[in-house]
Structure 1
């Protein structure tokens, strides 16, 4: 039960839901998430760390850059919740605005950035 409760607690923050929404698009660098959400690196990294601890996301380092992607939570019920989130998160105005900012960022991203 504790693991299940901790998994749900990780979702109890709007910024973490916004991050999960953007990661539905695939693996992203922290700098891309910062630009899309207009948040400082420390804030984005703190939220991603919380999500990673509960296995909502996985991370990998490539040089000095960190990339994150959706992962599979350890609890089967939370994995089902993630499937629902993948389907439903993009429906709100904030989600659409974040996604538009991410698209703009990825289209105008400097070639020597993160990678």
Structure 2
């Protein structure tokens, strides 16, 4: 699956969760128009309508609800895995080598 599909799926999850293109676009930091275009492209590639749109409401179709239920735990697992990796970034690791004279080592490093 091409990488852009992951971004499209993330956009779909935001719209389905928020049930609003306006709120989902704000959350993702994109325009409503760009988000709508992304969702239309995803629906075209899948050959399925995922969202029912009206002027005031957005709701997942049966296919959209199923996709939402199946994708949500997977994306949550990815977020959790990335959070665990960021913990490693904050902890120093590796070997420290100090070159010093014998007097400095015994007076400062070993007391």
User: What TM-score, normalized by structure 1, do the two folds share?
Assistant: 0.47
Q: Highest relative contact order (Cα 8 Å, sep 6+), 1 or 2?
A: 1
User: What TM-score, normalized by structure 2, do the two folds share?
Assistant: 0.48
